[in-house]
Amino acid sequence: MSNDLSGAESDASARCAALLVSADASRVNRVRGFLTGGADNIALEHAWSLDAARGMLDARAFDVLLVDLAMFTEARATWPDPAARAGLFPPIVVLSERDDREEALEVLRQGAQDYLDIHGESPRRIARCIRHAIERHHLISELREARQRAQFAASHDPLTQLPNRHLLEEQLYRALPQALRKRESVALLYLDLDRFNGINDTLGHSAGDAVLMEVAARLAKFTRRSDLVARVGGDEFLLLLNDIRGDAALAAIAGKIQKLLAQPYQVAGREYWIGTSIGISVFPRDGEDPDLLMRHADLALCQAKAGGRGTFRFYSDSLNDSVRRRHQIEHALRRALDRGGLRIVYQPIFSAADLRIVAAEALLRWTDPEFGTIPPAEFIAVAEYCGLIIPLGDAVLRTACEQLAQWQHEGHELSMSVNVSAHQIDEEALRQLISGALWDTGLEPRHLELEITESALMRDEQIAERTFRALRQIGVGVSLDDFGIGYSSLNYLKRFPVDTVKIDRSFIRDLVIDPDDAAIVTAILTIARQLGLNVVAEGVETEEQRLFLTERQCPQLQGFLLSAPLAAEEFGALLRKGPVPRKPARKSGA
């Protein structure tokens, strides 16, 4: 059996290379006669058999495959199915010697691009149909590749190319029934990288991305073909391990992963180290559905991180209730951030002398559909723990500045006070955030004041001092919140460029009946006056408290006696209403 390559030789200027597959010599001569040498200039080669054609296709590229009907019928049993064939072969045009509609439809169903009657069609029309078949094939190939790219993008992480959470969940839904039938165990390992944020913060996100890609490569190399590793968050990964032989084997695997990821990472010419916390859940012991299994692995991870990081924990029903609650609040908080479930209210700060509104404090509130009203102290602590406090705090500051700009545009002269978490105290990041917010809203820096608690200052006093001095250069005010409850309150007044102190409500509550509280408040007011500091008394709830503070020349008051926190619309209405007359205070010493 031989290949007839004596047909029209390929021409360097040919625009189309065609391979004809036929065992009929007369048909070969007929096709060669009307496809070569004309204006269409199709370069034609010929194979007598399917095997010869496969060899020629492997050896070089052709633009189109012309197969007579007899050969195409024979090929159905030996060639790949139409879907696979479309990616392996050039477009196929079947050549017949009769016009049979049913036969044509069947040929097209089998993956051919066209069906041509070489006796009933003119040579020019046959050549044009061949070129159209090539164009359709290219278009279909491009669409198929685009669909494949879209499917990959939808199921894989764009940075590491690992499967994403969606694909892992799909695999998990398939793996659990199989494991149940085989009486096998499946494990989920939830990984969180320790100290990773330090690399991002100090070297930038490009360095952090390089570390994440290296982590992904190490994990992919470590896992078996039957397992799956996915990136499911910023520095979080999930491993799906099949056919696990007990907790001892899992503990050994977790230890190896921690050792593997603890090896140094080369970033910007230097070595950096990170750790890994791991939470483990096992099917069917810790849950019989994918959602529950993932939640329990996440709970175990929370316990591992709470235990000092760099450890791994198995899920157990005895997990601390506070860990479970924190886990639930975190997930609800992420949902609220995505869906706009949080709201900002504004509590007025009044001038003690005439009860004019001179400032507003922006406060975050959250009512969850499942858990109801969540106290700020609880969800702020969770946000700090899980890293949501930065975007949360940034959004509050920008929204508060926009609202203040609107009130000032309406003719109201006041300032805005915004609480800052210890996690936001970063000189450059906070400077850029505030500068951007002031620029975007047109606010003067003197109308913005940032509040921070004494406990937050204790987290890193050197960074706090640099940050606050940078804020002072911008012109933004700094307020020391909950003043008086820490051990170093007076020292902070000396060290930090503070503009305002807010007397903690614990001293205000009993000051009219407790001589010690009254003495402390009076002393704070005297010291602040001598240092030229503004003072706000928080938690003013009775008329007696207001009179006491006003008599001792406390500049500003805040509390439910005067106004509860209000929605922006209600606050605006209160501004337009003006001050409410109150019983005047006696002058000090009268």
Could you tell me the pLDDT band of residue 581, with boundaries at 50, 70 and 90?
A: low
70 and 34 share a domain? Answer: yes
Tell me the pLDDT band of 4, cut-offs 50, 70 and 90. very low
DSSP calls for 224-243 = -TT-EEEE-SSSEEEEEEES
Residue 569 tokens read as 């619309």
**Tens of pLDDT, residues 484-509:** 665 446 777 777 888 999 998 989 99
Of the residues 129, 153, 177, which one is the last residue of a structural domain? 153
Residue 343 covered by a domain: yes
Host domain of residue 490: 331-577
Q: Which residue has the tokens 């975190």?
A: 330
177 and 292 together in one domain: yes
Rounded CA gap, 164 and 99, in Å?
Answer: 51
Identity of residue 571:
F
Give the per-residue SS3 of 493-525: HHHCCCCEEEECHHHHCCCCCCHHHHHHHHHHH
Boundary of a domain, candidates 99, 132, 153: 153
CA distance 18 to 128: 13
* Domain presence at residue 409: yes
Residue 10 lies in a domain: no
Q: What is the CATH number of the domain that holds 512?
A: 3.20.20.450
Question: What is the domain count for the chain?
Answer: 3
> Which of 293, 319, 345 represents a domain boundary (last residue)?
319
User: Are 145 and 179 found together in one domain?
Assistant: no
Q: Which residues contact 560 (CB under 8 A, 6 or more apart)?
A: 540, 541
Residue 46 has pLDDT above 90, yes or no: no
Find the mean pLDDT for residues 356-376.
94
What pLDDT, on the 0 to 100 scale, is given for residue 536? 96
Q: Are residues 348 and 480 in the same domain?
A: yes
- Taking CA atoms, 146 is separated from 104, 142, 151, 195, in Å, by 29, 6, 9, 38
Shared domain for 126 and 175, answered yes or no, is: no
My answer on whether 173 and 146 are in the same domain is no
- List the CATH number of the domain containing 214: 3.30.70.270
- Evaluate whether residue 124 is within a structural domain: yes
pLDDT tier for residue 589 given thresholds of 50, 70 and 90:
very low
State mean pLDDT over 155-170.
Answer: 90
Distances (CA, A) of 148 to 49, 153, 350, 440: 33, 9, 62, 42
Q: Is the pLDDT of residue 5 over 70?
A: no
Going by the DSSP 8-state scheme, the letter that residue 78 receives in this structure is T
What confidence score (pLDDT) does residue 150 get? 82
- Residue 1 pLDDT level (bands cut at 50, 70, 90): very low
pLDDT averaged over every residue in the chain: 83
Q: Tell me: pLDDT of 481 over 80.
A: yes
Q: How do residues 113-130 score in pLDDT, each as one tens digit?
A: 777 777 766 667 777 777
Say if residue 95 is in the same domain as residue 187: no
Nearest CA-CA partner of 342 in 332, 354, 352, 327: 332
8, part of any domain: no
Asked if the structure places residue 590 within a domain, the reply is no
User: Does the structure show a pLDDT above 50 at 95?
Assistant: yes
- The answer on pLDDT for 17 being more than 60 is yes
